[in-house]
Amino acid sequence: MNLDISGTPGTLTGSGRVALVLEYNGAQYHGWQSQKSGHPTVQQYLEIALSRVANCSVEVVCAGRTDAGVHASHQVVHFNTDVTRSQRSWVMGANANLPADISVHWVGNVTENFHARFSARSRRYRYVIYNHPIRAALFREGLTWNYRPLDEHKMARAAQHLVGRHDFSSYRAAGCQAKSPVREIEFLNVERFGDFIIIDVQANAFLHHMVRNIAGVLMSIGAGLNEESWSKDVLLAKDRAAGGITAPPFGLYLINVGYPCGEIPEFDPGPSFVKPYYFNSARS
């Protein structure tokens, strides 16, 4: 779904809670969350842009904090405001004040009980691998390059050991601050489209570096460096040291956040340059 800003302005009421969907290229940012160090972050630039539209300070809460170098095609945030602005004004005004690598796609009113993080029931990520002996010059910050020939079928089978509710201690960063390492993966698919291999995973929530650590294990298996059962062995070890390297952030995209209330519109999962592959696959 795309925002139609050509029709009725759709004035938003004041003194309410507003939700927003945006995408960004995270290559030039030190992650989502604002930092005291002053390093550029997505949250910092979004709050500046929205504050200019509202003509007062705006603070946002996101569905999931992404790390440095990680991208999003469907990040969800909410904020509270006392001002009245049209949907068009929020979207176009924010984008006019944002860097070119951050773009707001939708804004709308939500109930006061809606919370971008705590109301979310699922998060979905895609990890895009360029599997070719020669590194890519184009989209190099939007892909993870692996020069070794990868067997996507082995990767797909190994991935199924991780589906379900498990203790993912082996797949989270050593410094992860989550109170519990237990998460539930709803699906974890691996598909090849030419030179691209795409890992598609959805869970109720993710631990710090969880997707990147899963990608690292699956690529090692796909390259023949470990057996397919290694993904399960790593899981059962409940020890980060058993899990090998953390894959780079460049190919990772937050592509959807699911809510039970239906207050956030559905978008086709991104990133945009992989959509044709899934469209053609669905038609074949």
Range name among 6-15, 120-129, 170-179 with the lowest pLDDT average = 6-15
Please identify, among 119, 144, 171, the residue that sits at the C-terminal boundary of a domain. Answer: 119
* pLDDT value at 272 more than 50: yes
* pLDDT value at 263 more than 90: no
Tell me: the pLDDT tens digits for 42-53? 999 999 999 999
Write down the mean pLDDT value for the chain: 91
* pLDDT value at 133 more than 60: yes
**Set 4, 67, 151, 239: catalytic member:** 67
Does 12 or 36 have the greater pLDDT score? 36
132 and 230 within one domain = yes
**Band (9; pLDDT cuts 50, 70, 90):** low
> Looking at residue 12, what is its pLDDT?
65
**Band (5; pLDDT cuts 50, 70, 90):** very low
219 and 126 within one domain = yes
From residue 141, alpha-carbon distances to 79, 100, 252, 277 in Å are 30, 15, 10, 20
Residue 23 burial by CB count (10 A; 0-12/13-18/19+): exposed, middle or buried? Answer: buried
107 and 44 within one domain = yes
Average pLDDT of span 56-82:
95
**Band (218; pLDDT cuts 50, 70, 90):** very high
> Looking at residue 1, what is its pLDDT?
42
In SS3 terms, the chain reads as: CCCCCCCCCCECCCCEEEEEEEEECHHHCCCCCCCCCCCCCHHHHHHHHHHHHHCCCCCCEECCCCCCCCEEEEEEEEEEECCCCEHHHHHHHHHHCCCCCEEEEEEEEECCCCCCCCCCCEEEEEEEEEECCCCCCCCCCCCEEECCCCCHHHHHHHHHHHCEEEECHHHCCCCCCCCCCEEEEEEEEEEEECCEEEEEEEECCCCCCHHHHHHHHHHHHHCCCCCCCHHHHHHHHCCHHHCCCCCCCCCEEEEEEECCCCCCCCCCCCCHHHHHHHHHHHHC
* pLDDT value at 4 more than 80: no
**Is 67 known to be catalytic?**
yes
* pLDDT value at 175 more than 90: no
* pLDDT value at 270 more than 90: no
Range name among 52-61, 173-182, 196-205, 264-273 with the lowest pLDDT average = 264-273
In the chain, % of residues over pLDDT 70:
92
Residue 5 falls inside a structural domain: no
Residue 66 falls inside a structural domain: yes
231 and 128 within one domain = yes
Inter-helix orientation angle 87-96/42-54, to 10°: 130
81 and 155 within one domain = no
131 and 47 within one domain = no
Q: Look at the alpha carbons of 77, 41, 206, 72 in this order and tell me if their dihedral is positive or negative.
A: positive
128 and 223 within one domain = yes
Structural domain span for residue 95 = 16-119
> Looking at residue 8, what is its pLDDT?
46
* pLDDT value at 238 more than 50: yes
Tell me: the pLDDT tens digits for 75-116? 999 999 999 999 999 999 999 999 999 999 999 999 999 999
**Band (13; pLDDT cuts 50, 70, 90):** low
127 and 107 within one domain = no
Q: pTM for this one?
A: 0.92
Counting the structural domains of the chain, the total is: 2
243 and 128 within one domain = yes
For residue 26, what is the domain's CATH number?
Answer: 3.30.70.580
Tell me: the pLDDT tens digits for 17-27? 999 999 999 99
Bridge partners (DSSP) listed for residue 63: none
